[in-house]
Structure formats: C-alpha cells, structure tokens
Amino acid sequence: MVKLISMRKVKLRRGLLIVFEGIDGSGKSTQIAKLATYLQKQGYEVVCFQEPSQGKWGKLIREKARQAASLSPEEELRFFLLDRRENVERNLWPALNQKKIVLLDRYYFSTMAYQGARGLRVEEIKRRNEAFAPPPDLVFILLIEPREGLQRIKNRQRAELLFEEENYLKKVNRLYASFKGKNIIQLDASASPEEVFTQIKTHVHNLLRQAAS
C-alpha cells in the first residue's frame, strides 16, 4: 500500500510539465482532472492541454479520423509533428515560462507508441520530437490490457476512436511498456482510480520538492 502524502505549496523555480500517456480507456483524463483539482487546491497555477491539440493541425487530424481517411504512417507522423510544434509554441512554452504546472494528455510518447506500432522507427520519432519539444518532468504511462480499455470506451463516438483496434493496441502497449527513464513512471491502470491517483500524488510530491526554490 502506498502511503498518502499531504502536499503543502512550495514556490517553484520554473514551470513543470507532467505528461499522461496510455491507450484510450486507461484513465488519463480522469487522473488529469484529479491532479489538476488537487494542485489548484494547494494554490498552484495549473493548465491542462491535450494532443491532438485544438489548433489547426489538431483539428485536421480529427477531421481525417471522422472521414476514416487512410493515411500512411509517414503522413500521420507529419501531421502530429506539425500539431505538436504549434502546441509547444502557443501553449506549452508560454505556460512553462510563467512557472505554471502543465498537465498534458498525450505527448510525443504517443507518437512513438502509435506510429512506432505502424512500423516507423521509434528512435527516429523521438529524435525529431526532442529537437523542439520541451522535455517532460514526469511521464505517467497508464498501462491497461487493450480489451479492458476498449470495453471502457465502447460507448464513445466513432470519431474519437483513432487507432483503436485490439491487435494494433497490443503492439502500442508493448512499446509503451518498453519506455524507460528516471522520469517515466509506469502504472497499472486496471487498479481503481483512487489507487492510481495515490501513486501519482506520491511522485508529484517528490517532483515539487525537487523543483522548490
């Protein structure tokens, strides 16, 4: 059992970028909402963004999905890179420069997992993104069996279900599980939302302590 930790606000030296990753149905949106509320109650300035973004390229990605347009992996990568660059310039860097805590629903790890599962080289995707995208301070990867994730989202509109097919998602999950790093935290998303959030708070508490002035 993870011990519950109470956080008291500390003054941050810089903005923080906390990323949530995982297939649809893993609970990313739920955990982002919980963490945003929790941090705001502590007095922190928190902003939330998602990818694909609400910008021009993000809207185009969604439009292609609604049309069930067939895109090559290279075309998908191009659109996601354009959208991410716009999101970084318009949203992420401004918020980080204002020393806010940014909670991001999907980042370039999604591109590495999803387009990597379609045959593109994961390291090349990573290299192209890291050339312009700010490095995250924490990455929570919520791992769940694709069948369970699909069951959770079965009532969503079809337009929202980009790339959601079980065999494909198994490849995506394997790539997600392969991502390692000192700031990458893999969590069992089949646990209850409360159990997952308790673990998230522990890691965020440690990050805030390190980032305090």
Segment 26-60, tens digit of pLDDT? 999 999 999 999 999 999 999 999 999 988 888 88
Q: Which of the four pLDDT bands, split at 50, 70 and 90, describes residue 159?
A: very low
Is pLDDT larger for residue 1 or for residue 36? 36
How do residues 136-154 score in pLDDT, each as one tens digit?
A: 999 999 999 998 888 888 7
Single-letter residue type at 197: F
Chain mean pLDDT for the chain: 90
Task: Provide the terminal-to-terminal Cα distance of the chain, rounded to the nearest Å.
Answer: 31
Q: Is-contact 138 19, C-beta < 8 A?
A: yes
Confidence of residue 16 (pLDDT cuts 50, 70, 90): very high
| pLDDT at site 107 | 98
Proportion of the chain above pLDDT 90, given as a percent: 72
Taking the mean position of all CA atoms in its chain, how far away is CA 118? 19
Residue 213: pLDDT band with limits 50, 70, 90: low
Q: Spell out the residues 6+ positions from residue 181 whose beta carbon is closer than 8 angstroms to its own.
A: 139
pLDDT of res. 8: 66
- Is pLDDT of 197 > 50? yes
Res 155 pLDDT > 70: no
Look at residue 2 in the predicted model and tell me its pLDDT.
41
Does residue 53 or residue 6 have the better pLDDT? 53
Residue 189: pLDDT band (50, 70, 90) is very high
Site of tokens 């980080």: 96
**What count of residues does the chain have?**
213
Q: Which domains does the chain have, with CATH numbers?
A: 16-211 (3.40.50.300)
pLDDT value of position 150 = 86
Distance between CA atoms of 19 and 1, rounded to whole angstroms?
A: 24
